[in-house]
Amino acid sequence: MNALRLYARYVGLSWRAQLQYRASFALQTLGTALLSVVDFLAIWVLFDRFKRIAGWSLAEVAVFYGTANIAWSLAEGIGRGFDDFGSVVKRGDFDRLLLRPRSTVLQLLGREFTLRRIGRIGQGAAVLAWGWRSLGLGWDAARLGLWLLAVAGGVALFEGILILQATLAFWTIESLEVMNTLTYGGVQTVQYPLAIYPGWLRRFFLLVVPLGCVAYFPVVRLLGRTDPLGAPAWLGWAGPFAGFLFLGVALRAWRFGIRHYTSTGS
Amino acid sequence: MAQIEVRDLRKTFQVSARAPGLWGALRGVVRREWREVHALAGVSFTLEAGELVGYIGPNGAGKSTTVKIMSGILVPDHGTCLVRGRVPWRDRTAHVAEIGVVFGQRTQLWWDLPVVESFELLRDIYRVPPPAYARARDELVALLGLEPLLDVPVRQLSLGQRMRCDLAAALLHAPPILFLDEPTIGLDAPSKLAVREFVRRLNRERGVTVILTTHDMDDIEALCTRVIVIAGGQLLSDGPLGHLRQRFGRERWLTVDLSDPGQADPEQVDPGQAFRAEEFGARLVRRDGGRVCLAFDPERVKPAELIARVTARHAVQDLFVEEPPIEEIVAKIYGEDGRIFPGGPGSPPP
Amino acid sequence: MKPLLAIFGARFRLLLQYRAAAWAGVVTQVFFGAVITAALSAFYAGAGDARQPLLLSQVVTYVWLGQAFFSLLPWRTDPEVREQVVSGGLAYELLRPVDLYALWFARALALKTAPVLLRALPLFVVAGLFLGLRRPASLEAALLWPLAVAGAVALSSAFMVLMNLSLLWSVSADGIHYLVPVLVMLLSGQLLPLPLFPEWFKPVLLVLPFRGLMDTPHRVWLGDLSGAAAAYALAHQWLWLVALIALGRHLLARGLRRVVIQGG
């Protein structure tokens, strides 16, 4: 049975298991939705006072915010199996995954696909839709395609970060929360246009963890604006590929981590 | 060609050592200290297809390290290992598709799913063609009596039921080799018998090679024709079960039921009447009421002679001579005798 | 008193073991703080200091203080208490000759103090040297500030005990565990400095207890709250503390009765 069908099977099982606890699921989904509402509320408050940030309006920021949050929430839901990989290693359950004739990545992705993130995705979409309409931008095939590509690149990049975080668990099961700076911190950063930030922060999210390539350039292009710092427009279409590249790097690191694990034992 | 070939395996682990107490904890913040554990110090053996081998040794002897290397999830520092012509850790997916592994203390089944759904998931994971799967499943369900358990979520199963399901799960893809790690641990007597019976049939009738790691000597006696003993990272013995007895188990045990139980109790009786094992050339193993058990070396004192000596001095109601249980033999190998024991770190005698 | 001190010491030692976690925490806080202050700087750049309730430099200091004391907020229930409620071991707690509320309060205090010290200190150093965390505004501010922090710690512990108490009614109080931390973050000034909120919302913030957790100590440090205003703010902390403790003790008594009746 090929990998995609096996993954679909895993996901089906995961969703069934989560939906079993209907009440709890509903509460949690509501919880995440409310959480993200409060999140955007903070941004709204600031715009209420300051009106604009470095020349960008609230509606424009809403598009950045929505895109980034949708990508992250999807990635977080998909990559949950990697998120708590530390506990898998600690329990010694990773051996069992190695004893199966399948990719460990596939097996870990299949562990869980968290549905309650839907709350956050919904909120992100609502914010995005509001901003989009306020700006009076239309929808056409090219725009939709670019936006989907941006989200895909974002998901790939965030998955890469989660996989890197899990790879660290091969060396130490402590303190993996540093990677939260890249995921939560990353979303926190790119919810505003990258251009507003000081140089070092911009360079970090363009060259080290290319979240900016994925979440900034495409959206700038979608908004029909030019980058205040002078980046060329074609980066809007090229940017998301940085996310795919990053994922590739993360997967190599993962393989390296497995080599280390099988050499040193658990 | 041998099915499993292991040559001069060596493996050393680095274990972090933390000093105790608050000061140790603070120091640990700055610098970590390491300690070396030599888990395997040159292990070699060969297994042919269809063997049922017991792999025994004290905790920390290197058993699970060897099994991990053979299953492909651990890479040795030195030495070779070939399983069906493959290096396990190099061709991982090809290799693990042909082995089954059961851990006694951990289940590979999905906790919240009914057993049969775990089976189906494994079918997909191992890419077993549906007709082969149906056949294997039905046979295993019949052999292990799993019919009433198929729709029960794994978390609701008893330990014995879970073990039987795990056995079936490990064999759905019809692997020619099966690794069993403590399969009867924590099971009640009927379940142990069921597991042993199943493993025996699997080996005798299907020719599945079985490597059994266990602390339960009854498992060994019931199943294994060949026993490999490992301690301190080195092999102490490799051969038929009978040889083990022969090499280390020269002792015989004589158990007598005294007519007057009081004679056995050193506190009750005056010294003149008391039962003294040394006088007869034997060692007292245990005393239970009027039943006394003596261990003796039949090459120094023939059984008939010992019986004569004992019955001459005491009135005996009943007696019998037997070989000591395998635990006694193995305890001896493990290290009552310090000379046998290599004394590697991390492997204290039980 | 002694058993409470023993618990305190044990926790401290446990936390020291997680040294890598502590370093990682510092890096995380520094990063978040940097991003937040960068965004706020961009906002201010467009609008100018003059008409804002706080200067940009003050806002930056406020944010860094918030990062340093991040772990002070009552994020979740005491995992030990949760374990006890689930397993039924709570009964054993009732058999011990210690005031259960005081015990939980002491545990909460211990849970707050050690990580806060571990993370706040390095953050003060780094942010103070490189990232714009300014000194206290005056001697008065420097002297009042520890009082405000003490009030914040006590308040946070009282909140934590209240969250523990929710477990007596429902073990998987999922809703609370999601919502409370978020609301606390917003209303205490952790997410956004309270002075930057819209004017019409400020009376609400003024009354609620949450500002005592973050906003009050930060603004005392900044000198934004001084003299009588500071005194009122501190009194506000302690008033709410008394109210929360009273509520907590009352709920504990009722909750325990419930647990006993239901058999744990």
User: How confident is the model over B46-102, as pLDDT tens digits?
Assistant: 999 999 999 988 877 888 899 999 999 999 999 999 999 999 999 999 999 999 999
pLDDT at B254 over 70: yes
Q: Does C17 touch chain B (CB under 8 A)?
A: yes
β-sheet bridge partners, residue B292:
B256, B287
Look at C238 and B259; give whichever has higher pLDDT: C238
Is B14's CB within 8 Å of A5's CB? no
Q: Among residues of chain C, what percentage have pLDDT more than 70? A: 82
CB pairs A-C closer than 8 Å: 103
Look at B137 and B252; give whichever has higher pLDDT: B137
Q: Per-residue pLDDT averaged across B309-320, rounded?
A: 87
What is the predicted pLDDT for the residue at B248?
A: 65
Q: Does B113 touch chain A (CB under 8 A)?
A: yes
Is B124's CB within 8 Å of A9's CB? yes
From the CA of C239, how many Å to the nearest CA of chain A? 27
A10 neighbourhood in chain B, CB within 8 Å = 121
What is the predicted pLDDT for the residue at B342?
A: 40
Within 13 Å and on the Cβ side, how many CA atoms surround A256? 11
Q: Which of A98, A109, A258 should we substitute to test contact with B (largest number of B Cβ atoms within 10 Å)?
A: A98
User: How confident is the model over C79-90, as pLDDT tens digits?
Assistant: 777 777 777 777
Which other chains touch chain A, taking contact as 3+ CB pairs less than 8 Å apart?
B, C
Q: Among residues of chain C, what percentage have pLDDT more than 90? A: 30
What is the predicted pLDDT for the residue at A163?
A: 95
pLDDT at A233 over 70: yes
From the CA of C211, how many Å to the nearest CA of chain B? 35
Q: Which of B27, B29, B30, B32 should we substitute to test contact with C (largest number of C Cβ atoms within 10 Å)?
A: B29
Is A42's CB within 8 Å of C183's CB? no
pLDDT at B123 over 90: yes
Lowest-pLDDT choice from B17-21, B260-264, C137-141 = B17-21
User: How confident is the model over C81-119, as pLDDT tens digits?
Assistant: 777 777 777 767 766 767 888 888 888 888 887 777 777
pLDDT at B4 over 80: yes
Look at B331 and C64; give whichever has higher pLDDT: C64
User: How confident is the model over C28-69, as pLDDT tens digits?
Assistant: 888 989 999 999 999 988 876 667 888 888 999 999 999 988
Q: Among residues of chain A, what percentage have pLDDT more than 70? A: 98
B11 neighbourhood in chain A, CB within 8 Å = 265
Phi first, then psi: what are they for C167, rounded to 5°? -65, -25
B259: which 2 tokens? Answer: 């007519």
Which chain C residue lies closest to B21 (C-alpha atoms)? C13
Is C32's CB within 8 Å of A185's CB? yes
> How far apart, in whole angstroms, are the C-alpha atoms of residue A236 and residue A227?
10
Length of chain A: 266
Residues 6 or more apart whose CB falls under 8 angstroms from that of A43 comprise: A58, A61, A65, A191
pLDDT at B43 over 50: yes
Facing A13 at nearest CB: one of B94, B106, B113: B113
What is the predicted pLDDT for the residue at C84?
A: 75
C40 neighbourhood in chain A, CB within 8 Å = 46
Q: In the 3-class helix/strand/coil scheme, how is chain C assigned residue by residue?
A: CHHHHHHHHHHHHHHHHCHHHHHHHHHHHHHHHHHHHHHHHHHHHHHCCCCCCCCHHHHHHHHHHHHHCHHHCCCCCCHHHHHHHHHCCHHHHHHCCCCHHHHHHHHHHHHHHHHHHHHHHHHHHHHHHHHCCCCCCCHHHHHHHHHHHHHHHHHHHHHHHHHHHHHHHCCCCHHHHHHHHHHHHHHHCCCCCHHHCCHHHHHHHHHCHHHHCCHHHHHHHHCCCCHHHHHHHHHHHHHHHHHHHHHHHHHHHHHHHHHHHHCC
The average confidence (pLDDT) of chain A is 89
pLDDT at C222 over 60: yes
β-sheet bridge partners, residue B14:
B36
pLDDT at B345 over 60: no
DSSP-assigned letter for residue B266: T
Q: Does C254 touch chain B (CB under 8 A)?
A: no
> How far apart, in whole angstroms, are the C-alpha atoms of residue A184 and residue A180?
5
Phi first, then psi: what are they for B33, rounded to 5°? -110, 145
pLDDT at A83 over 80: yes
pLDDT at B264 over 70: no
C174 neighbourhood in chain A, CB within 8 Å = 24, 27-28, 31
Lowest-pLDDT choice from B71-85, B250-264, B290-304, C230-244 = B250-264
Which chain A residue lies closest to C44 (C-alpha atoms)? A50
What is the predicted pLDDT for the residue at A69?
A: 94
Q: Per-residue pLDDT averaged across C137-144, rounded?
A: 87
178-217 of A, contacting C, C-beta below 8 A: 178, 180-181, 185, 188-189, 192, 196-198, 201
Is A197's CB within 8 Å of C23's CB? no
What is the predicted pLDDT for the residue at A180?
A: 82
Q: Does C21 touch chain B (CB under 8 A)?
A: no
Is C19's CB within 8 Å of B28's CB? yes
What is the predicted pLDDT for the residue at B343?
A: 39
A265 neighbourhood in chain B, CB within 8 Å = 11, 13, 65, 68, 74
Q: Which of C19, C117, C121 should we substitute to test contact with B (largest number of B Cβ atoms within 10 Å)?
A: C19
Which chain B residue lies closest to C15 (C-alpha atoms)? B25
Q: Which of A70-74, B216-220, B232-236, C13-17 has the highest mean pLDDT?
A: A70-74
What is the predicted pLDDT for the residue at A175?
A: 61
pLDDT at B1 over 60: yes
A52 neighbourhood in chain C, CB within 8 Å = 46
Q: Per-residue pLDDT averaged across C9-19, rounded?
A: 63
Phi first, then psi: what are they for B129, rounded to 5°? -60, 140
Nearest to B71 by CA among B56, B86, B49: B86
pLDDT band at C200 (very low <50, low <70, confident <90, very high): very high
Torsion region of B126: left, alpha or beta (phi above 0 gives left; psi -120 to 50 gives alpha):
alpha
Which chain C residue lies closest to A36 (C-alpha atoms)? C182
From the CA of B20, how many Å to the nearest CA of chain C? 11
Is C46's CB within 8 Å of A52's CB? yes
Is A50's CB within 8 Å of C43's CB? yes
Q: Which of B34, B73, B87 should we substitute to test contact with A (largest number of A Cβ atoms within 10 Å)?
A: B73
What is the predicted pLDDT for the residue at C263?
A: 52
Facing C43 at nearest CB: one of A46, A189, A201: A46
How far is residue A69 from each of residues A39, A119, C185, measured CA to CA in Å? Answer: 11, 11, 19
pLDDT band at B27 (very low <50, low <70, confident <90, very high): low
pLDDT band at C205 (very low <50, low <70, confident <90, very high): very high
Cβ distance A64 to A212 under 8 Å? no
The average confidence (pLDDT) of chain B is 84
How far is residue B263 from each of residues A201, A223, B65, measured CA to CA in Å? Answer: 91, 103, 51
Q: Does A34 touch chain C (CB under 8 A)?
A: yes
What is the predicted pLDDT for the residue at B22?
A: 57
What is the predicted pLDDT for the residue at A242?
A: 94
User: How confident is the model over A102-147, as pLDDT tens digits?
Assistant: 999 999 999 988 888 888 898 999 999 999 999 988 888 999 999 9
pLDDT at C24 over 70: yes
> How far apart, in whole angstroms, are the C-alpha atoms of residue C248 and residue C104?
11
Cβ distance A151 to A64 under 8 Å? no
pLDDT at B337 over 60: no
pLDDT band at B346 (very low <50, low <70, confident <90, very high): very low
pTM, full prediction: 0.82
Within 13 Å and on the Cβ side, how many CA atoms surround C253? 5
Residues A112, A115, A120, A122, CA torsion sign: positive
Q: Where are the alpha helices (DSSP H) in chain B?
A: 21-30, 63-71, 92-96, 115-125, 130-144, 159-171, 189-206, 217-223, 241-248, 303-313, 326-331
Angle at C113 between CA C110 and CA C118, to 5 degrees: 125
Is A101's CB within 8 Å of B110's CB? no
Facing C21 at nearest CB: one of A31, A48, A175: A175
